[in-house]
Each structure stands twice: as C-alpha cells, then as structure tokens.
Structure 1
Amino acid sequence: MIKTISNEYLKVKINTHGAEINSVQNSDGLEYIWFGDKKYWARHAPILFPIVGRLKDNQYTYDGKTYEMGQHGFARDMEFIVANQGEKWIDLQLVSNEETKKMYPFDFKLIIHYELNDHKLTTNINVYNTDTKEMYFSVGAHPAFNVPLVQDGSEQYDDYFVKFANKGEYDQIQFDVPYANLENIEKIELDQPIQLFPELFYDDAKVIEIKNREFTTTLSSDVSNHGVTMTGYNTEYGGIWSAKDAPFVCLEPWWGIADDIHTDGKIEHKVGINNISPNEKFVAKFDLSFF
C-alpha cells in the first residue's frame, strides 16, 4: 500500500511493503528517487535490518544454533503497518513474529519515522529490544537517486559528481565480493568530488569507515541546480553504489557492514554489529535534502 506525505515543496510516496520510499517529487514534478527499472535494480530505497550487506554463506550462529538470512536482512521484504500518520510525517512499524524468528531469534519492534521539513526529509530508524536478552543487529539505508535527475536530455550521467562536506583521509573498505576484507584497507582522500562514470561501480560499492560521526555527501552536477544532500548522524559506514551501467546512484548511511572474509560466523562477533539490552532503543538517523 502506498502512503503519501507532503508539504509545499515535496511530495513523498512510501510503500508499506518494506517501509520503502518509492518517490520524492518537488513542486515542479521533478522525480529524485530511482524509478526501479528491473533491468538494473527493481528497488528504490530499501531499509536494511537486521543486517547490512551479506552474511558469509548467508548464515550465522547464535547460542549454538545456525540461522539463515539473505543479503541486507528481511525488513525490506516485509509488510509494515501504519502506526501513526500526519500530513507531513508517518510512522511505519514492523514487530517480530513467527516468520522473523525463523531467521532472527530476537523479539524486536522496528519503527521507521519519515518527516518532511521544507526541502528536507528526515528518516529515523528506531530499533527497540523487546526481548529478555541482549539483541544484536545492524541497520542501514539504501536510497537511490536518478542520474541524471533532469530527464529531458540536457544532462548526462557523467555530468554528475559526489562531493563530501567532511574532507580528509578515510579508511576505504575493500571487498572480496560480496564480503569485506578488513586486512586490505586503503586510505582515500575525500578533499575533491568523485566524478561519476559507469566503471566506478564495476567492483561493487565504494564504502568508507566514518567511525560514528556526522557525515554529509551531495550528489549534483554543474549543468543544473538540482541535486540531493544526504547527512547521516553518528554513522559507522558510508557507501556509494550503483548497479552496472545503471542510471542511478545510491548514497548509503550504514550502521553495520557485510561479513568479513575471516568471520567465525557468530553474530555477536560480526564486524559492525550493534547491541542493545532489553527495553533499550537504538536510533539511526539521516536527512535527505532535495534541491
């Protein structure tokens, strides 16, 4: 079911299936969110929970038992209920059930809060531990944006670049696809914008370690005045990704990452894992500003 929130600047359509943003349009009808063409990638902006990336052999162990789970977890493929909604905001909720317990042995409540404020869409991913034991999890977001944004032929893919407000040197995570290789960390300077070209993503996502800081990236071009700025708060990792030769780019705030190639498979030892005690709450927040 598609739900809509809006203000005088933006109209946002959100699917209760996966609590996924399907569309963001400005007052002139410009569409920012990737169309979801199955030729390249059928999704738009999935929520990642309770893992980010892929588990080694698509499985992990907890308390001596083995569980199987696909890439990025199950939340993106489950139906959320509308817990509450106003004109400019909505709360979508997923609660643990028999189906989730087969993949993930924890009681939880997941509430995705979307709220518009002028040209900005705020997303809060609220994770509640409703279990009687420590809960282990990762969360993230995967919003994809059309490149080019203007679809009248005046812009090209390689007119666009990603600029970083937080300049400096970062650790770039290398992958033995689809797993992280933490023994092979490279340094990357983000003082200059990254020019987009299709081959940039032939070896999978570009992922840097942010180490629980605020982090801002902007997707834009010199041809038009339109673009998107993503700001993640207390972010652990940041990713830039696109499918091969696809006309979109994802700006991804992550609080977790794919398994390391040397993982022992125990969820409590997983790289980038978060944990909260019973009755505690974890909030992952990021803003998307559209111009």
Structure 2
Amino acid sequence: MPEIVRIANDRLAVEVSSLGAEMQSLSSSDGRSWLWTGDAAWWSGRSPILFPIVGKAPGNRLTVDGRQMEMAQHGFARRSEFALASRTETSCSHRLAATDATRAVYPFEFALTLTHSLDGDTLTVTAEVDNLDEKPLPFGLGFHPAFLWPLPDGDGKPHVVELENGAEPPLARLEDGLLRPERLASPFAAGKLQVSSEMFADDAMIFLEGAGTALTYGVDGGAVLRFRFENLPNLALWSKPGAPFLCVEPWHGTAAAMGASDDLAARPFTTILPPGEKACFAFSVEIPA
C-alpha cells in the first residue's frame, strides 16, 4: 500500500502519497478543502506528475534513443512508487530513480525528485530531474493539479482564470490526444477567461506560449488561488464537461504533434539535459486565508 505523508503549518495541510508522489489533499486551517477528491466517476487523478512525456505519443509508441518503446499517456512516473527521501513538519521529498522497469521503456539513468513544501499560505511543488547517465537525457515534464470547481463558497458564481501578464495567447487543441497544427483565437480577453463546462467538450485548452509565469483562478467576488510557475512555458486548462474540478497544468513539453516524428527528442518543448546536470521546475499556489 502507498504511504501517505502529511505536512502542515498553521495555515495549510497537505497529504502526499508515495504512489506517484501525488498530492492527495490540500486544506486550509479553516477546514476548507481546495484539491479535487479523485472521484473515479469523473477522474481518479488529483495531482499527477507527468514524466518523461506530457500527453500522448502516436499509438502510445515512442522512439527513445533510437529504439521504439511503449509509452502510455503522460509517462510512467505517475504510476510509479517513489521513495521518501526527506521529511520535516512542513516539507517532504519523494524520489524516483531508474529501475529495470523504467529502463525497459526509457533507457536512461535518472532521478526525479518531487518536493512539496509549505511557507505561510503558499504551497510550492518542485520537480528536479538529474541526468545520471553518460548521454543526454530527453524528457518532458508537467504538473497536473486539479482544484475544486466550484471552489469553496463559490456555488453558482462565475469562476475566472486571469493571466498576470494580461495576454491573449492563441489556443491549441488536441485530436486523438495529439497536438493539432492550427492555432485558434484566444478565449482570453485582456488576460481574463470565465471558465465554462462547454469549453472542454474538445478536451484540454492548451496555450503553448504567451500565458506567462503567473495567474489566478477564483470566484468572481470570492476566493482566489494565486499561481506562479518556474521553467514551465506551456499551460493547459482541463476538465470534463460537467465535472466538479478544473486542472491548472503548467508544462515543459506537450503531446506529440499530429503527423510529426514519434521521437521523444523531437516533441515540442522537450528538454535535452546534458550528462551530470540537473533541471528544476516548480509551481506555487497561494491559498486565501
């Protein structure tokens, strides 16, 4: 059975599972919960880590280091057991290292460390990828946290995503899980988007560039969650029509493009990490008091 680690301060409490190093709950000291519950009737995920790919590969097959491999959507890390590397009252780190099972589909030596840490009313989730191999390490990495929709005390009220940079980034869509080539008009107006269930009839809304490094998701006139992103140039918003959650997904890497190569190194926004080096990615969310 996966081990659950709880971290807390006087403002927030978080539970993290060793399976996928996935956050299971996020609550504030007033008793309100903010994270999706993982009800399998809609979607059993809560906050999976996406590695070594984000999204799908054509036919779930991927060319890696010259060899074709089976690779499920979003990669294997979210279904892998992580080891607890360190723990304090307000932080915990989980580590996934290469195993025979990972080498069979991803022939590299690596370590992926997920750290959840609390500071006041802010949660920060950091992913560190270490290339422990003697050859370059290609990968995509993304976060996939799901938050309640409606948020606490937000029943019947509009919910808005607002980009801090005020941009109107073009919209990309998926077809059979692969990235379509055309770009559509932005659903944002001066950086603001009132989310509605109908927006997700065609799967996720993806913004490859231009969404910036910060946004808010909140209730018009109510609670607002404030996000910041580090080394995560891509953004997706996803739900299922009628589902009571909204995923705010910062990525570095996307699904394969339709009609393009199935080579991992050729996927959009893939990181190619030199031997012996480390890459860091992070998001933070500030929870209102």
Answer whether TM exceeds 0.5 for this pair: yes
Q: CA RMSD in A?
A: 1.6
Give the 5 Å matches for 1:82-161: 82-150=84-152, 155-156=154-155, 159-161=158-160
SS at match of 1:268: helix
* Per-residue deviation, residues 73-120 of structure 1 (Å, max 9, x unmatched): 010011111101111111110001001111111110000111111111
Tell whether the 8 Å contact from 1:164 to 1:190 is kept in structure 2 after alignment. Answer: no
Structure 1 residue 157: Cα displacement: 5.6
Give 1:215's aligned residue: 213
Give 1:288's aligned residue: 285
Distance 1:245 1:204 in 2: 13
Give 1:15's aligned residue: 17
**Which residue identity is paired with 1:147?**
W
What are structure 1's unaligned runs of at least 5 residues? Answer: none
Distance 1:2 1:37 in 2: 18
Tell whether the 8 Å contact from 1:30 to 1:149 is kept in structure 2 after alignment. Answer: no
Tell whether the 8 Å contact from 1:52 to 1:254 is kept in structure 2 after alignment. Answer: yes
Give the 5 Å matches for 1:218-233: 218-224=216-222, 226-233=223-230
Distance 1:77 1:249 in 2: 21
**Which residue identity is paired with 2:266?**
H
Tell whether the 8 Å contact from 1:214 to 1:233 is kept in structure 2 after alignment. Answer: no
Structure 1 residue 31: Cα displacement: 0.3
Give 1:180's aligned residue: 179
Tell whether the 8 Å contact from 2:173 to 2:203 is kept in structure 1 after alignment. Answer: no
Structure 1 residue 128: Cα displacement: 0.4
Distance 2:256 2:193 in 1: 26
Tell whether the 8 Å contact from 1:18 to 1:76 is kept in structure 2 after alignment. Answer: yes
Structure 1 residue 190: Cα displacement: 4.4
Q: Are residues 1:27 and 2:29 paired?
A: yes
Structure 1 residue 161: Cα displacement: 1.6
Residues 272-281 or 193-202, more deviating: 193-202
When the two structures are aligned, how many residues end up with a matched partner?
A: 285
Question: Which runs of structure 1 show a deviation greater than 6 angstroms over 4 or more consecutive aligned residues?
Answer: none
Distance 2:189 2:88 in 1: 39
Structure 1 residue 192: Cα displacement: 4.4
Structure 1 residue 242: Cα displacement: 0.5
Structure 1 residue 171: Cα displacement: 2.9
Structure 1 residue 288: Cα displacement: 1.1
Distance 1:23 1:166 in 2: 29
Tell whether the 8 Å contact from 1:108 to 1:128 is kept in structure 2 after alignment. Answer: yes
Tell whether the 8 Å contact from 1:52 to 1:71 is kept in structure 2 after alignment. Answer: yes
Tell whether the 8 Å contact from 1:50 to 1:73 is kept in structure 2 after alignment. Answer: yes
Residue identity (%): 31
Give 1:73's aligned residue: 75
Structure 1 residue 159: Cα displacement: 2.3
Tell whether the 8 Å contact from 1:171 to 1:185 is kept in structure 2 after alignment. Answer: yes
Tell whether the 8 Å contact from 2:157 to 2:220 is kept in structure 1 after alignment. Answer: no
Tell whether the 8 Å contact from 2:237 to 2:248 is kept in structure 1 after alignment. Answer: yes
Structure 1 residue 123: Cα displacement: 1.2
Tell whether the 8 Å contact from 2:231 to 2:280 is kept in structure 1 after alignment. Answer: no
Tell whether the 8 Å contact from 1:214 to 1:231 is kept in structure 2 after alignment. Answer: no
Distance 2:117 2:111 in 1: 19
Distance 2:270 2:28 in 1: 36
Structure 1 residue 187: Cα displacement: 4.1
TM-score in terms of structure 2 length: 0.94
Distance 1:31 1:214 in 2: 27
Question: Are the structure 2 counterparts of residues 164 and 156 from structure 1 closer, same or farther at C-alpha, using a change threshold of 3 Å?
Answer: same
TM-score in terms of structure 1 length: 0.93
Distance 1:159 1:89 in 2: 34
